[in-house]
Amino acid sequence: MTELMPAEGVFSLIWLLIALPLAGAVILLFGGRRTNAWGPYLGILTVGASAVIGILMLLGMMQNDPEQRTIGQTLFTWVFVGDFSADMAFQLDQLSIVFVLLITVVGTLIHIYSLGYMAHDPDKRKFFGYLNLFVAAMLLLVLANNYLLLYVGWEGVGLASYLLISFWQIKPSAAAAGKKAFIINRVGDVGLSLAIMLMFVTFGSVGFQDVFGVAGQASEGTLTAIGLLLLLAACGKSAQFPLQAWLLDAMEGPTPVSALIHAATMVTAGVYLIVRSNVIFTAAEWAAIAVIVVGMITIWMGAIIGSAKDDIKKSLAGSTMSQIGYMIMAAGLGPIGYVFAIFHLLMHGVFKAGLFLGAGSVMHGMNDNVNMRRYGALRPLMLITSTTFIICYLAIIGIPPFDGFFSKDDIIHASFERSPIIGVLAMLAAGLTGFYMTRMVAMTFFGKARWEDDVHPHESPKVMTIPLIILAIGATFGGLSLVYWGNIESWLEPVTGIETMELALPAWVFELTTLVLVIIGAVIGWMTYARREVPIEAPRGSWLTRAARKDLYGDAVNDVLVVQPTFYASRWLVWFDNKGVDGFVNGSAAFIGGLSGRLRHYQTGFIRSYALSMVGGAVLVVLALVLVRAS
Amino acid sequence: MNPSNYVVLSAVLFSIGAVGVLVRRNAIVVFMSVELMLNAANLAFVAFARMNGNLDGQVVAFFVMVVAAAEVVVGLAIIVTIFRTRRSASIDEPNLLKF
Amino acid sequence: MTTFPWLTTLMVVPLVGSIVVALLPKARTLLAKQIALVVSVATLVLTVLMALQFVGDSVEPFQFVESHPWIPAFGISYSVGVDGIGLVLVALAATLVPIVVLAGWNDVDDSRGSVKGYFALILVLETLMIGVFAATDVFLFYVFFEVMLVPVYFMIGRYGGAQRSYAAVKFLLYSLVGGLFMLASLIGLYVVSAQMTGTGTFDFLTLAGLNIDEGVQKMLFLGFFFAFAVKAPLWPFHTWLPDAAAESKAGTSVLLLGVLDKVGTFGMIRYCLPIFPAASNFYAPVVIGMALIGIFYGAFVALSQNDMKRLFAYSSMSHFGFITLGIFVFTSVGQSGSVVYMVAHGLSTAALFLTAGFLMSRYHGSSQISDYAGVNKTAPVLAGFFMIAALSSLALPGMVSFIGEFLVLLGAFERYMWVGALATLGIVITAAYVLRLYQRTMTGPLKPELEGMPDLRGREITALVPIAVLTIVLGLFPAPLLNVINPAVDRVMTSIGATDPAPTVTGAALEQPGLPAEGTEQ
């Protein structure tokens, strides 16, 4: 286990990374209307300041030896009872710093973008407050040095996500979507809670250092259980099968939220959790296999849903599910995949944020219409948006030299190292990615205009396009630079470990095959949606299309299996409580009342009958006495 | 004379008094029957005091007399009041104190 | 150790205040409220001063001890003193009373009963609540336990809603029946102590030190436990709670659910466990079963309630299931968690009832959920506090309720893995009913009838802010609670002879590979 370095110099500011956005959130949310005027700028400033501190820390870390890059900072002992103790303490290492930078830099860009996107919203201040709260919670999640503190961040991002999905609460659908997200996430939280408890019972601690230090000595059954519980948690947060149903509804939130929380950062928390707990998954083979299976199912589900949806945000959400499926699957591959999961996560954070913000920019010019069947031929009118969108599109389908090419190829290569079946499935899904992303680009920017009558498409203001340009630049050069200039594999290696296996075929064969598949998918998409007329009314489609439009019946299954039985049980218990338990209580009261009602008739008012009963009683007493004496 | 005869007499008097209370309807007679029972008890007390050779029974008998006197005062007052309002001394008629 | 009679002072101050309030002329309602507020704040200040002098890791079981003979013939004395558990609950009571006074400023009018009467009753109740947590003589505890019913009975029966007399009588009868069983056990306990020590006593420490015969313990335990189970309330003795909560004023409900019901769980951990250790062990599986049923039963029933106050009552029942579970799994983590949970539940219930009360006072006092929708639009501050209260109720990590709930679950998991795992599922349903309530009342389009509903005013915000601040601050920095609770819980653990399970893989095993990890510790 790596030694923790004391937090000195710039690293003594680890707590400030979290405290800054948190302070921003507190001031904005509790300051009330006074902060309306300058609040949003404060929000941007605090997140920006965290980003600057993060970059300084990265530079500081690069000067240290690879073994001395794990820095610990303990503020105080947080919870302590008996043998249990958890500190309010942070751990900054090569893995967390990657996340810190992703969260703060992308977060800052999205904050700036929101300034334009939310310009006319009366609750703009609250929006920035929630965003700041999210950034603080997400930073806590990745900086915590023990699982319990991680849980606080974990739930904090869930809360922020809930608040932001239902930001436009006046729409019942938005309020319902937020609630749904929170409750499904709670199911995942049960997994995390139980995993933490099992860790404490097994290892007597919930700190990363302690747990990973002795993890090897636990039985494989225990480790598998912990691994599966962590996987459940990851499924909830990262919208993996079978807890995927909330993510599509989460698109009810404002688009910057979808970009930041439901694409770039929060939904990748599950990947972080698995990679952070790599010691456990490496030791528990079946848990790792479960991770691969879940990831693979979600890759395909997401891609199929993404191919069928006409709502641009939901189609992107399907794509997010699918891409996170890749990451989870890679994380399940073990040391051959951890690094690539994080690499893809980073790249995905950049290009998917770009895609979502681009979609937001399109919606901004189309009166917030999200139906791609009413788009078309927007490229000349939205030059910056379309250019950046297409760059991010090339990145996600994995065309060299854009950054998705590097990360996704690494994952496919690694999955072939694990097993040819996994590899082939992952490769085919890449082809499907090419199809649905091309469909989206073709329907939005090319073909014929199918706009509604009162729509006047226009380019968005600079405050929105500049973040798009920056993200597009990141999507162009990010992969290249992380492979050739700053080697991400050797950077993460001390935390995650790394293994490579020699395959029978050289790497370029896999790269080329994937590329060919992607191009086939893209060409099919282009032929169907750009060259041919796109009907305004969606055609009936095949059974798969119809199922995919209904999210592959995710909601229906939940409804039948969980929601309806719950409410049925609830109503039955209410009846039971009123009639059964309370009925028994009131019944016994009524019984006593009835009994006394009958008994009082013996109170006739005739003095002599009372006297008779007295005499009778006296006779009985005397008889009893005599009998007792006699015996 | 055998003091146990007094105890038997007392029991007889008490029974007569009890029967009187139960069967007679006139309040005054009932009242007198109660007095008879009280005095039967007194007689038993005195007889037992004699048999046991200490004075406790006689002391209690005095207490009973005092209580009986007080009871007569209150009881007669009630009966007179009832007679004034109802023109009757029957104890079956004022049966309003019931369910 | 100071000789100043802190606890007696804490009881006398509100009592005197209550007499003064009661003697005021009926027309001086404002003065009555002001005096009540000043007196309750003064009590709070005194409590804080006392708590600051509390020694966390003292060897004495009780601090601020006072003892005067009361009925020496039966070994009854006026003895008070607090350990960590008593201290935090006294502090909880002293904190909530001024908040309730402030929040209930305009809750009552002259239409039934007098305004001053309501505030006088609150102050009397404060005296009794402090007394019940501070008593170290079991008889004195019993007296406070029963007398407490009287002010609450009047608070529900005179100042409550339409069904108030039904609810008040139900509450009184339920509690009295429970109390009678306890009285029987109490007399039995006295007789047992007289047989074992020669002179009968009601002194808690002496009784806890006795080694009572197991069969006798099992019988006496039932009497005490029944009283506490009704008070807490545990399933299936809970049906008075929804009625009482639904018919009382918000302030009454806060004191009833937030503090008074804690006497039940407090009694379990303070009296049942140390005095009847063998019986507690014997009955633990049954109690844990009742607690588990209560957790899910309360949550499921809460899910389809249409009355906010009844919903809170059932949710409290679910929370009391957690608290009882933590006490009876006999791990220090679980029991400390339970005590933290008691405090947290007091705060979250107060927040819920008060915000709901403020909401109801704005629309004809209706507590029907279906009467409200979209309140967030017209009263965002109210909706914000409602959200904080809801999150505190569902034990969001970062709030003090999370620490209580997590420790309880962890303690249960340590002892009985499947019980802990099952109880953990409860957090999903909790989230479901709390968020459903928020969704139905606060979000969506505003109901036309609610147009122009005013937002919270200064007084109302002042009442809610301390609760919210305490909930969050104690969630992030629970050391002040844990420092005083842990030693008291350790003492309980010692008295029942329970030890925490040791981890299966320990750091020690790392140094000596090959050896099975055996860590039995205190």
Question: What tokens appear for A33 in the block?
Answer: 């209307």
Residue A604: which of B22, B91, B95 has the nearest Cβ? B95
Question: Which residue from A373, A331, A316 is spatially nearest to A541, judged by alpha carbons?
Answer: A373
Cβ distance A128 to A115 under 8 Å? no
pTM comes to 0.88
Chain A CB contacts of C431 under 8 Å are 182-183, 186
CB atoms A566 and C503 under 8 Å: no
Indicate whether A477 and A570 sit together in one domain: no
Residue A179: which of C439, C490, C502 has the nearest Cβ? C439
Residue A582: which of C239, C436, C519 has the nearest Cβ? C239
pLDDT at A447: 84
pLDDT at C506: 61
Residue A183: which of C432, C443, C510 has the nearest Cβ? C432
Indicate whether A502 and A587 sit together in one domain: no
Q: How far, in Å, CA of A492 to CA of A98, rounded?
A: 9
Is residue A231 predicted with pLDDT exceeding 90?
Answer: yes
Residues 201-240 of C with CB under 8 A from A: 236, 238-239
CB atoms A615 and B18 under 8 Å: yes
CB atoms A603 and B95 under 8 Å: no
Residue with tokens 């999150």: C391
Residue A217: which of C239, C509, C521 has the nearest Cβ? C509
pLDDT at A133: 93
- Nearest chain B residue to A599 by CA: give it: B99
Chain A CB contacts of C384 under 8 Å are 29
Spatial CB neighbours of A417, under 8 Å, sequence gap ≥ 6: A333, A336, A423, A500, A501, A503
pLDDT at C161: 82
Task: Evaluate whether residue A140 is within a structural domain.
Answer: yes
* A420-445 and A312-332 helices, crossing angle to 10°: 160
A26-44: pLDDT as tens digits:
998 888 788 888 888 999 9
CB atoms C407 and A566 under 8 Å: no
Name the average pLDDT for chain C.
89
Q: How far, in Å, CA of A153 to CA of A146, rounded?
A: 11
Mean pLDDT confidence for C312-340 = 94
Chain C CB contacts of A76 under 8 Å are 477, 479
CB atoms A169 and C505 under 8 Å: no
Residues 14-53 of B with CB under 8 A from A: 18, 21-22, 25, 30
Residue B22: which of A600, A604, A611 has the nearest Cβ? A611
Residue C439: which of A83, A175, A585 has the nearest Cβ? A175
Mean pLDDT confidence for A74-91 = 90
Chain C CB contacts of A196 under 8 Å are 410
CB atoms C424 and A183 under 8 Å: no
Given pLDDT bands bounded at 50, 70 and 90, which one contains residue A140?
A: very high
pLDDT at C110: 72
Mean pLDDT confidence for A295-305 = 93
- Nearest chain A residue to C414 by CA: give it: A201
Name the average pLDDT for chain A.
88
Chain C CB contacts of A172 under 8 Å are 443-445
Given pLDDT bands bounded at 50, 70 and 90, which one contains residue B99?
A: low
In this complex, the chains that touch A, judged by 3 or more CB pairs closer than 8 A, are B, C
Is residue A52 predicted with pLDDT exceeding 90?
Answer: yes
- Nearest chain A residue to B15 by CA: give it: A615
C465-522: pLDDT as tens digits:
999 999 999 999 999 999 999 999 999 998 888 888 888 776 544 443 433 434 333 3
CB atoms A166 and C410 under 8 Å: no
- Nearest chain A residue to B98 by CA: give it: A605
- Maximum average pLDDT range among A526-540, C11-25, C201-215: C11-25
pLDDT at C514: 39
Mean pLDDT confidence for C302-322 = 92
Indicate whether A209 and A66 sit together in one domain: yes
Mean pLDDT confidence for A56-61 = 88
Domain boundaries, chain C: 279-505
Pair type for strands C76-82 and C63-71? antiparallel
Cβ distance C269 to C327 under 8 Å? yes
Farthest-apart Cα atoms in chain B, separation? 52
CB atoms A608 and B95 under 8 Å: no
Percent above pLDDT 90 for chain A: 38
Task: Evaluate whether residue A601 is within a structural domain.
Answer: no
pLDDT at C2: 52
Q: How far, in Å, CA of C121 to CA of A348, rounded?
A: 63
Question: Which residue from A514, A550, A247 is spatially nearest to A404, judged by alpha carbons?
Answer: A514
Mean pLDDT confidence for C424-453 = 89
CB atoms A603 and B98 under 8 Å: yes
Question: Which residue from A112, A143, A126 is spatially nearest to A30, judged by alpha carbons?
Answer: A126
pLDDT at B87: 84
Cβ distance C202 to C76 under 8 Å? yes
Pair type for strands C63-71 and A84-92? unpaired
pLDDT at C522: 34
Buried b (16+ CB within 10 A) or exposed e, A54-74: beebbebbeeeeeeebbbbbe
Q: How far, in Å, CA of A150 to CA of A148, rounded?
A: 5
Cβ distance C277 to C345 under 8 Å? no
Indicate whether A419 and A291 sit together in one domain: yes
pLDDT at B25: 86
Do chains B and A touch by CB distance (3+ pairs < 8 Å)?
A: yes
Mean pLDDT confidence for C108-125 = 85
Do chains C and A touch by CB distance (3+ pairs < 8 Å)?
A: yes
Chain A / chain B CB contacts < 8 angstroms: 27
Strands of A107-239, DSSP E: none
Chain A CB contacts of B95 under 8 Å are 604-607
CB atoms B22 and A603 under 8 Å: no
Task: Evaluate whether residue A400 is within a structural domain.
Answer: yes
- C interface mutation test: which of A162, A197, A217, A568 has the most C CBs within 10 A? A197
Question: What tokens appear for A197 in the block?
Answer: 């408890």
Indicate whether A253 and A377 sit together in one domain: yes
Given pLDDT bands bounded at 50, 70 and 90, which one contains residue C335?
A: very high
Chain A / chain C CB contacts < 8 angstroms: 179
Number of independent structural domains in chain A? 2
Q: How far, in Å, CA of A304 to CA of A114, rounded?
A: 30
Given pLDDT bands bounded at 50, 70 and 90, which one contains residue A2?
A: low
Indicate whether A483 and A618 sit together in one domain: no
CB atoms A83 and C407 under 8 Å: no
Peptide bond into A401 cis (omega under 30): yes
Least confident of A111-120, A312-321, C276-285: A111-120
Mean pLDDT confidence for C396-408 = 93
Indicate whether A286 and A431 sit together in one domain: yes
Task: Evaluate whether residue A555 is within a structural domain.
Answer: no
pLDDT at C473: 93
pLDDT at A487: 79
Question: What tokens appear for C405 in the block?
Answer: 């709930």
- Nearest chain B residue to A604 by CA: give it: B98
A564-580: pLDDT as tens digits:
888 898 899 989 888 88
Q: How far, in Å, CA of C139 to CA of C146, rounded?
A: 11
Chain A nearest-CA distance from B53, in A, is 24
CB atoms A600 and B99 under 8 Å: yes
Chain C nearest-CA distance from A222, in A, is 10
Mean pLDDT confidence for C259-283 = 92
Do chains B and C touch by CB distance (3+ pairs < 8 Å)?
A: no
Indicate whether A374 and A278 sit together in one domain: yes
More confident residue, A489 or C391: C391
Sign, Cα dihedral of A269, C406, C315, C151: negative
CB atoms A570 and C397 under 8 Å: no
Indicate whether A582 and A482 sit together in one domain: no
- A interface mutation test: which of B14, B16, B21 has the most A CBs within 10 A? B21
A145-171: pLDDT as tens digits:
999 999 999 999 999 999 999 898 888
Indicate whether A200 and A284 sit together in one domain: yes
Question: Which residue from C301, C346, C294 is spatially nearest to C466, judged by alpha carbons?
Answer: C346
Q: What is the ipTM of this complex?
A: 0.90
Chain A nearest-CA distance from B30, in A, is 9
Task: Evaluate whether residue A602 is within a structural domain.
Answer: no
Is residue C43 predicted with pLDDT exceeding 70?
Answer: yes
Element holding A88 (H helix, E strand): strand A84-92
Question: What tokens appear for A368 in the block?
Answer: 């917030």
Task: Evaluate whether residue A470 is within a structural domain.
Answer: yes
Question: Which residue from A332, A373, A379, A109 is spatially nearest to A235, judged by alpha carbons?
Answer: A332
CB atoms A80 and C482 under 8 Å: yes
A234-259: pLDDT as tens digits:
999 999 988 888 898 888 889 888 88
pLDDT at A11: 83
Peptide bond into C98 cis (omega under 30): no
Chain B CB contacts of A604 under 8 Å are 95, 98-99
**DSSP category for residue C213:** -
Cβ distance C280 to C222 under 8 Å? no
pLDDT at C28: 85
pLDDT at A245: 87
Given pLDDT bands bounded at 50, 70 and 90, which one contains residue C387?
A: very high
- B interface mutation test: which of A607, A613, A614, A626 has the most B CBs within 10 A? A607
Indicate whether A182 and A107 sit together in one domain: yes
Pair type for strands A5-6 and A71-81? parallel
More confident residue, C458 or C98: C98
**DSSP category for residue A481:** I
Indicate whether A507 and A564 sit together in one domain: no
CB atoms B98 and A607 under 8 Å: no
Is residue B34 predicted with pLDDT exceeding 60?
Answer: yes
Task: Evaluate whether residue A221 is within a structural domain.
Answer: yes
| Domain extent at residue A493 | 5-549
